Amino acid sequence: MARRSACIAVARRVAEEARRILRSAGLLIAGLRPAGAGDKVLFPVEDARRALEVLKMQDITAEPCTAEFEERKAGPPRLEGPVKGYTRIGDIAVFSHVEGVSEEHYRRAAQSLVREGVVRAVFLKRQTSGEHRVAVLEHLAGENRTVTTAKEFGLRFRVDIAREYYNPRLQEERRRVAQAVRDGWRVLDMFAGVGPFSIHIAAARRARILAVDINRSAIMHLTENIELNKKKLRGCITPMLADSRILPGFVRPGFEAIIMNNPTMTPSFLPVACKLAEPGALIFYYRVARSCDEAWEEALEASPCPLTALQCVEALDYAPGKLIYRLTLRVTGSESG
């Protein structure tokens, strides 16, 4: 069913950023779906004048409009009590443990999700553990299995949430990074996991991607995910089971883009990135910090090669007072020689 609404129109290349800004400002009409119109994306908004002002402050050009928008289907049931939200991965839901919320409250919420058919299995994540960044899980309701298939923008990812790191909340971030890569580039994904960054890039660009991870289970699913998505891939992905620290010993340098999505450990891997990067290369550097400035200062101190910061964005919430930031860095010199 369609509904007419005030809206703003932005270029497709900045649509994701505009959507994030409008959502943060509370201006999007949640019950209506954005619509495409040629090279523009139309966002239904509560106040078009205010939306234009907010976007202008972020240097995003937009135009006011009025259009018909499809209504969104009703979402999953609202959780009652102190349990407020969960992460959905395929047909599995995961609650993150919050101090003060009892296990009984989590079990009731889990049973509600399974009973309503929202998911088929529910787990409670107690913590994240080890160098593989895997979740410590407790089964709450539904099927007692941890393997599922997640979907992102038409791509499919087979993942074992008990043995491999995977965060569906990064899917828009992965697509933005993929759009920044160019055809013909050599790309290094230093902490590839089950392959979401690599596969998004290969779907968008005719690039050659070396996807490295130390987790054998993740590399097995990465290989499976390449096969699952092969009809949609334009680029070529080479999976490699290895610790990225040792790559300079046997991998040819000259990568035009390097993805460093291990936000608790990235500074210690910057010397490796410098050895493998082409001068002028882009590094997509993820780091837990209190601010962009803190992340940038730490990167400068840790890097043996000169870097220029092109962009800093908030990629993900992490903990009270801390976020995961993505710095887009340009290498202005190299250690590869």
* Strand extents, DSSP E, the chain: 2-11, 35-37, 40-44, 63-70, 87-89, 92-96, 121-129, 134-142, 147-152, 155-160, 186-189, 208-213, 236-241, 255-260, 277-289, 307-319, 322-331
Question: What backbone phi and psi angles, to 5 degrees, belong to 285?
Answer: -110, 115
Lowest mean pLDDT among 26-30, 58-62, 64-68, 302-306: 26-30
pLDDT number for residue 336: 46
Contact present, 56 and 49 (Cβ < 8 Å): no
| pLDDT (mean) for 207-233 | 96
pLDDT number for residue 42: 94
Instruction: Check whether 121 has a pLDDT greater than 90.
Output: yes
| pLDDT (mean) for 268-293 | 95
Say what percent of the chain tops pLDDT 70. 94
Lowest mean pLDDT among 18-22, 48-52, 59-63, 324-328: 18-22
Summarize pLDDT for 146-159 with one digit per residue, the tens. 999 998 888 999 99
The CATH code that applies to domain 87-145 is 3.30.300.110
Which single residue is written with the structure tokens 């078009």? 48
CATH architecture of 169-331: 3-Layer(aba) Sandwich (3.40)
- In Å, how far from its chain's centre is CA 42? 23
Summarize pLDDT for 172-190 with one digit per residue, the tens. 899 899 999 999 999 999 9
> Is residue 337 very low, low, confident or very high in pLDDT (cuts 50, 70, 90)?
very low
How far apart, in whole angstroms, are the C-alpha atoms of residue 130 and residue 121?
Answer: 24
Going by C-alpha positions, the residue among 104, 96, 146, 103 that lies closest to residue 121 is 146
How far apart, in whole angstroms, are the C-alpha atoms of residue 80 and residue 244?
Answer: 44
Summarize pLDDT for 46-62 with one digit per residue, the tens. 889 888 988 988 888 99
Show Cβ contacts of residue 62 under 8 Å, excluding neighbours closer than 6 positions.
8, 9, 10, 18, 51, 52, 55, 56
The CATH code that applies to domain 2-70 is 3.30.70.2580
Question: Where do the H-state alpha helices sit in the chain?
Answer: 15-24, 48-57, 103-115, 171-180, 196-204, 216-228, 266-276, 292-302
Instruction: Check whether 297 has a pLDDT greater than 90.
Output: yes
Domain layout of the chain by residue ranges:
2-70, 87-145, 169-331
Question: What backbone phi and psi angles, to 5 degrees, belong to 108?
Answer: -65, -45
How far apart, in whole angstroms, are the C-alpha atoms of residue 66 and residue 289?
Answer: 41
